[in-house]
Amino acid sequence: MNEPREPIRTEVHRVADPDATRVASYLAQPGEVGRVLLLYSGGLDTSVMLKWIQDEYEAEVVALTVNLGQPGEDYEVVQGKATRLGAIEAHVVDAREEFAEEYVLPAIKANADYGDGYPLFTALGRPLIAKLAVEYARNTGCDTIAHGCTGKGNDQVRIEGTVATLAPELKVIAPVRSWQMGRDEEIAYARKHGIPVKGGTESAPYSIDDNLWGRSSEGKWIEDLSHAPDDDVFQLVTRPELAPDEPQVVEVEFERGVPVALDGERLPLADLIDRAAEIGCRHGVGIVDHIEDRIVGLKVRDIYEVPAAAILLPAHKELERLVGTIHQNQFKPRLDQQWAYLVYAGLWWEPLRTDIEAYMDAVNERVTGKIGLKLFKGHARVVTRESPHAVYDAQLATFAESGGLFSQQASPGFIEIWSLQSRMAQRVREGNGG
Tell me which residues are annotated as active site: 45, 126, 155, 207
Rounded to the nearest whole angstrom, what is the least distance from the CB of residue 122 to ligand ARG in the complex?
A: 4
CB 30 within 8 A of CB 15: yes
- 92 beta partners: 65
Closest to ligand ARG by CB, 123 vs 129, is 123
Number of chain positions touching ligand ARG (CB under 6 A)? 11
Does residue 70 touch ligand ARG according to CB under 6 A? no
Rounded to the nearest whole angstrom, what is the least distance from the CB of residue 340 to ligand ARG in the complex?
A: 11
Among 32, 56, 60, 155, binds ligand ARG (CB under 6 A): 155
Torsion of CA 174, 180, 186, 191, to 10 degrees: -110
| Contact window for ligand ARG (CB under 6 A) among 153-161, 240-248, 278-286, 387-395 | 153-161
Closest to ligand ARG by CB, 218 vs 357, is 218
Closest to ligand ARG by CB, 186 vs 209, is 209
Among 41, 122, 238, 368, binds ligand ARG (CB under 6 A): 122
d(CA 335, CA 183): 41
Closest to ligand ARG by CB, 59 vs 66, is 66
Closest to ligand ARG by CB, 178 vs 207, is 207
Does residue 79 touch ligand ARG according to CB under 6 A? no
Does residue 222 touch ligand ARG according to CB under 6 A? no
d(CA 14, CA 26): 20
Rounded to 5°, angle at Cα 175 from 132 and 179 = 175
Q: Are strands 171-173 and 207-211 parallel, antiparallel or unpaired?
A: unpaired
Among 101, 218, 274, 361, binds ligand ARG (CB under 6 A): 218
One DSSP character per residue, 351-371 reads HHHHHHHHHHHHHHTT--EEE
- R_g (Cα) of the chain, nearest Å: 26
CB 391 within 8 A of CB 324: yes
Closest to ligand ARG by CB, 220 vs 377, is 220
Rounded to the nearest whole angstrom, what is the least distance from the CB of residue 263 to ligand ARG in the complex?
A: 31
8-state DSSP, 399: S
User: Residue 12 in 3-state DSSP?
Assistant: coil
Q: By rule CB under 6 A, what string of x and - marks binding of each residue 261-300 to ligand ARG?
A: -------------------------------x--------
Among 29, 165, 207, 337, binds ligand ARG (CB under 6 A): 207
Among 209, 253, 318, 320, binds ligand ARG (CB under 6 A): 209
Closest to ligand ARG by CB, 15 vs 222, is 222
| Contact window for ligand ARG (CB under 6 A) among 64-72, 148-156, 354-362, 385-393 | 148-156
Please, which contacts does 313-316 make with residues 24 or more away whose CB atoms are closer than 8 Å?
313/108, 313/111, 313/112, 313/113, 313/119, 314/373, 314/380, 314/382, 315/252, 315/254, 315/259, 315/371, 315/373, 315/382, 316/108, 316/109, 316/111, 316/252, 316/254, 316/257, 316/259, 316/367, 316/371
8-state DSSP, 58: -
Among 27, 78, 108, 123, binds ligand ARG (CB under 6 A): 123
Give residues 302-361 in contact with ligand ARG (rule: CB under 6 A).
302
At 208, phi and psi to the nearest 5? Answer: -110, 140
d(CA 244, CA 379): 12
Q: Where do contacts with ligand ARG occur on this chain (CB under 6 A)?
A: 122-123, 153-155, 207, 209, 216, 218, 292, 302
